[in-house]
Amino acid sequence: MTQDLIAKIESKGATVGIVGLGYVGLPLGLGFVAKGHRVLGLDIDANKVDAINAGRSYIEHIAAGPIADGVGAGLLSATSDFARAADCDALILAVPTPLSEHHEPDLSYVINTLESLLPHLREGQVLSLESTTYPGTTEEELRPRIESRGFAVGENFFLVYSPEREDPGNAQFNSVNIPKVMGGTTPACAEVGKALYEAVVEQVVPVASTQIAEFTKLLENIYRSVNIGLVNELKVAADKMGIDIWDVIEAAKTKPFGFKPFYPGPGLGGHCIPIDPFYLTWKAREYGVHTRFIELAGEVNESMPDYVVRKVGDALNTRKKAVNGSRILLMGLAYKEDVDDMRESPTFHLMDGLAALGAEIDYFDPHIPEITPTREHAAYTGRRSIAWTPENIAAYDCVVIATHHKAFDLASLVEHADRSVDTRNALAKAGVEAKPKQLIKA
């Protein structure tokens, strides 16, 4: 059965089911389609299903053309009917893995999705989990549920883990050219998983187990979280000393070895770096290990929105104004530049912190004209980006650059804003000079 499934994949006779059509699932599915494979998207969001079947994109940096072409060629379709999973030879799960309110792993999306698929699984399929999670999830949570259906994993059903490495908006790297780490539950599972991903990516990196693959993704993001936490802490120290940390980083990165630049900001965003480290800290406690570096970095990074709020207070104080009652504009709702991805964006925490002090808050983001429902910030659903006009900008007591989109007119900001707080060094990077006493860096 192993070789039959591999042959079916290699001959492009297999149907690949992508479960979860978000920032990870949609581009991966389009990667398979571009290689000539049939793809069936499964998602509980009827709007996404309808958009794909109509050849439309709902993610800004993904063009509609490849979707329409795939649908037109009969290679791409989508459904909310999970019974259609039986039509698939491969099932790839790309669903969220958030944290609970107590910073513990929330596997409900993974478990609920698998439970919805279980009645429709059949012999000769391979299932791959791509959602970031703690080491042992595939073996401890997925395998027992699959085996409860009577399947023999590694013989008539195949199970692998391959962490997503998406970077939304990255023009250089995408689902196809980013090396793909993959671990199988058994050697036969690994063999099938390797064939599956070699059908779409340029390089597959097999590892010895699903646990190694799961830990790999956590290491990648913990590395970034710890280094960002370090530079955020150094930013606060440098600020107290009257030193511009951005100048320090520019000087330090001229060293051709032993140093990689990381940059401070108003907090962490996206679905990976603010969340993934806590998956490992939670699992490590099961083994009596206290991951102090990881937890300290998390504390520092989570404190940065409060630091920025204090800086906004400083900016208003120069005008003898209080935060309470002031009108404040936040520039950039997306968690990173030039995308429409607002998952876990620190801007939401800035909104919360400033509103709690009595400020009147608006936002401007050309990539996100309206706030759609989120898990943690439902109260902001439906709020719309303001129109960027000189009159509008001049009406705010303070403007905070929370994300540095290339679309921002920073020269207009400097001309019309009374006070600005720059959390991204955006003005300096753009070569825009602020008026005296107008700008505070945070």
The C-alpha atoms of residue 297 and residue 319 are separated, in whole angstroms, by 34
Considering 88, 189, 272, 398, which one is annotated as catalytic?
272
Cβ proximity of 324 and 358 under 8 Å: yes
Q: List, in order, residues 6 or more apart from 381 with CB less than 8 Å away.
A: 371, 372, 373, 374
Q: How far is CA 230 from the centre of its chain?
A: 21
Amino acid at 261: P
Return the closest-CA partner of residue 272 out of 224, 221, 228, 230: 221
pLDDT of residue 309: 98
CATH topology for 2-210? Rossmann fold (3.40.50)
CA dihedral 269, 275, 280, 284 (to 10 degrees): 120
Residue 170: its pLDDT value, please?
A: 85
* Tokens 């199988």 -> residue: 184
Domains 2-210 and 241-441 fall in the same CATH topology: yes
Per DSSP bridges, beta strands 157-161 and 180-184 are: antiparallel
pLDDT of residue 223: 96
- Domain ranges for the chain, please list them: 2-210, 241-441
pLDDT, one tens digit for every residue, the chain (442 residues): 899 999 999 999 999 999 999 999 999 999 999 999 999 999 999 999 999 999 999 999 999 999 999 999 999 999 999 999 999 999 999 999 998 888 899 999 999 999 999 999 999 999 999 999 999 999 999 999 999 999 999 999 999 999 999 888 888 998 899 999 999 999 999 999 999 999 999 999 999 999 999 999 999 999 999 999 999 999 999 999 999 999 999 999 999 999 999 999 999 888 788 888 999 999 999 999 999 999 999 999 999 999 999 999 999 999 999 999 999 999 999 999 999 999 999 999 999 999 999 999 999 999 999 999 888 888 999 999 999 999 999 999 999 999 999 999 999 999 999 999 999 999 999 999 988 888 889 9
pLDDT at 222: 95
What is the reported pLDDT for 272?
80
Asked if 398 is an active-site residue, the reply is no
CATH architecture, domain 241-441: 3-Layer(aba) Sandwich (3.40)
Nearest CA-CA partner of 239 in 302, 307, 320: 307
Tell me the C-alpha distance between 217 and 272, whole Å: 9
Does the reported pTM lie above 0.75? yes
pLDDT of residue 271: 76
Asked whether 268 and 224 are in contact (CB, 8 A), the reply is no
Tell me the helices (H) and strands (E) count for the chain, helix number first.
16, 13
pLDDT at 303: 96
86: which DSSP letter?
A: G
